[in-house]
Chain A
Amino acid sequence: MTTMFDVGNKIAAKAVQLCRPEVIAAYPITPQTVIVEELARMVEAGELTAEYLRVESEHSVMAATCSAASMGVRTFTATSSQGLAFMHEMLHWASLSRLPIVMINVNRTLGPGWSIWVDDTDSMSQRDTGWIQLYCSSAQEIFDTVIQSFKLAEHRDVQLPVMINYSAFTISHTMMPAEVLSQEQVDSFLPPFKPYWRLDWRNPVTFGNVLSDEYHMEKRYTMQQGMERAKQLIPEIAREYEQRFGRFHGGLIEEYRADDAEYLLLAVSAVGSEAKVAVDNLRAMGYKVGLGRVRVVRPFPDEELRRLGKGRSLIALDRNISVGSGGIVYHETRSAVLGVAGCKVYGYLCGVGGRDVTYEDIEGMALKVIKGEMHPDVVGWWDLKTAGGN
């Protein structure tokens, strides 16, 4: 094990390299580009034996990735924001094809107007595409999660693609230390890819022809079963990793000072890690606040939230918006905990469009709830510069 001190994206690329992807199709988009630049450099320097395709758009990124994966090889790619949106059709394609693709999406605001700064609407609005969605808060977590994600995606009971998300700039471009495994260590944890289907001229199957209504629903059912299994496998694989290499970042939800909490913040990625500072400060002020850092949005951790929500107020901090509805984690949490005794769900939209969310902002939002100034049915807009928004 060695320590790397670099930006999140570079540490991500290092993890990818160690996982031995065989085909990488990539297209640049700020702020993920550093990942694919580093992978290109590695391939050209002979540090990574992979075919690298410099495709001409993100739709082609996912098409080429799916096609390569269909031949039975391990694949990886990265994108963000507009690029993720552009490949939307192919995201559905990947999961319906049951291909264990791993992709990093650096969370960036959608436009117009152009914004390269963080919000999670890009990935949150793709949560229906059948991809497992994970959210990381540190370079170390990214490194460990990338490796675990290949194992998860390629698991016989899952066979679904995995999207690893983390915040633009705050995490992608901030230098952090990370303990990095050796190639031997990763090889011992992640065996070579064994495909559950592939195209081979010796065994000529036709993939993807017409699927009548007689069969479609059942195929979706097994996808859902894959997601349900992932709920168990994500923490299982993480524990196995912890046993081998000593690091654990939480299961589906990382609980921070949650045991005796009356109020539990729910947040992902950068807001999630920032919230730990806010929790410490609020505790110092005498409030029983904890954090449920949501690491997995698909499969949505219903059971965890019901358990955590008993007799508590949950405060969902959404750095995303589904216009016409509200904060996505807020709404999904509300529906998950319906009927749980004594559970109230509050929601805030914060940092949407890239505005900074500091621990002071988080403390402010929590205090509004604690002081009874918020209603569970009404989502607040933190730091809105125009009138309205509660």
Chain B
Amino acid sequence: MERYEADTTLSYPCIAAAGKTGGWRDFKPVIDHANCIKCLRCWAYCPENAVKRAEDDSVSIDYDFCKGCGVCAHECPKKAIAMERED
């Protein structure tokens, strides 16, 4: 990526710009894959891009960045995601 010479507020794209935001959460989502129907709602509704969609449309949580908001668990039509307290 080209870096510009000018000394002004130019910021460059990267993962973890605000750090590993997984450190923010109190509860973490745990997917019960046996009940998952791969509807991909959790993938669609995760604001953080922390629900990873595999080639076969199975999903997994990127715990480095999941902020634990619980939207995925709340929206899952099969209640296949549980929010578990973390320490």
Contact = CB atoms under 8 A, between A and B. Distances in A.
| A joins B in a complex | yes
Interface of A: 96-98, 156, 159, 196-198, 203-209, 211, 218-219, 222
B6 interface: yes
B11 A209 contact: yes
A219 B6 CA distance: 10
B35 interface: no
B7 interface: yes
A211 to B, nearest CB: 5
Contacts of B11: 205-207, 209
26 contacts: A96-B8, A97-B8, A98-B6, A98-B8, A159-B6, A159-B7, A196-B4, A196-B6, A197-B4, A197-B5, A197-B6, A205-B10, A205-B11, A205-B12, A206-B11, A206-B12, A206-B13, A207-B8, A207-B9, A207-B11, A208-B9, A209-B11, A219-B7, A219-B8, A219-B9, A222-B7
Interface string B1-36: 110111111111100000000000000000000000
Closest 7 pairs (CB-CB, A-B)? A197-B4, A197-B6, A196-B6, A206-B11, A222-B7, A98-B8, A196-B5
Contacts, number: 44
Classify chain B: how many residues form its interface, as a range. Answer: 10 to 19
**B interface, over-half SS:** loop
Nearest to A216: B9
A208 B5 CA distance: 15
A207 B10 contact: yes
Contact of A197 (B1, B10, B13): B10
A376 to B, nearest CB: 40
- With a 10 A CB-CB cut-off, give which of A196, A205, A218, A222 has the most chain B CB atoms: A205
Given A203-B1, A211-B9, 16 more contacts: A96-B8, A97-B8, A97-B9, A98-B7, A159-B7, A198-B4, A204-B13, A206-B13, A207-B8, A207-B9, A207-B10, A208-B9, A209-B11, A219-B7, A219-B8, A222-B7
Contacts of B2: 203
Nearest to A95: B8
B54 to A, nearest CB: 26
Contacts of B7: 98, 159, 218-219, 222
- With a 10 A CB-CB cut-off, give which of B4, B7, B11, B12 has the most chain A CB atoms: B7
B12 to A, nearest CB: 6
A197 B2 CA distance: 10
A159 B13 CA distance: 24
- With a 10 A CB-CB cut-off, give which of B6, B9, B10, B11 has the most chain A CB atoms: B9
A48 B61 CA distance: 57
Contacts of B1: 203
A205 B14 CA distance: 10
B13 to A, nearest CB: 6
Interface string B37-70: 0000000000000000000000000000000000
Contacts of A96: 8-9
A222 B8 CA distance: 9
Nearest to B13: A204
A118 B47 CA distance: 56
A326 to B, nearest CB: 35
Contacts of A205: 4, 10-13
A314 to B, nearest CB: 35
A222 B12 CA distance: 20
B50 to A, nearest CB: 21
Contacts of B9: 96-97, 207-209, 211, 219
A156 B5 CA distance: 9
Contacts of A219: 7-9
A209 B7 CA distance: 14
A204 B12 CA distance: 7
A198 B4 CA distance: 8
Contacts of B6: 98, 159, 196-197
A243 B10 CA distance: 38
A97 B13 CA distance: 19
B17 to A, nearest CB: 9
Contacts of A159: 6-7
B3 to A, nearest CB: 9
Contacts of A222: 7
A13 to B, nearest CB: 29
